[in-house]
Structure 1
Amino acid sequence: MRSFTRKHMERRSLHDEIEASYSVFEWDGGVLLQIDSYGRDTRGMLGKKSQTIQFD
């Protein structure tokens, strides 16, 4: 991730609950936190990652 900035939202909505997991691991001399989301229960391929975000 290059930057993490606050953004004003014009329209707000509450998202559906989803499954997610996190991992902490070393990479190139540093430590990363990775969060993976798996999408809604109605998704065609259950258990497949939907999004991944990494923080260093």
Structure 2
Amino acid sequence: MKGWRTLLINLAIAVFGVLEATDWTAALGSDKAGWIVAAIAIANMVLRSFTTTEIGRRA
């Protein structure tokens, strides 16, 4: 991982910039946007339940 951290941080910043610039309500429809965000959050919680590493611990 050493040597890649700076590139990964900058990639994440670029991705967040693109995500921030997108009007998700217009792209998804105002009636669907909230449900999609909720579904993503629930999916992340389910994925977290399958991990074996405690929160805040290094793998």
What TM bracket, shorter-length normalisation?
under 0.3
Say which structure is richer in helix: 2
Computing the radius of gyration from Cα coordinates, the structure with the larger value is 2
TM-score (norm 2): 0.20
Say which structure is richer in strand: 1
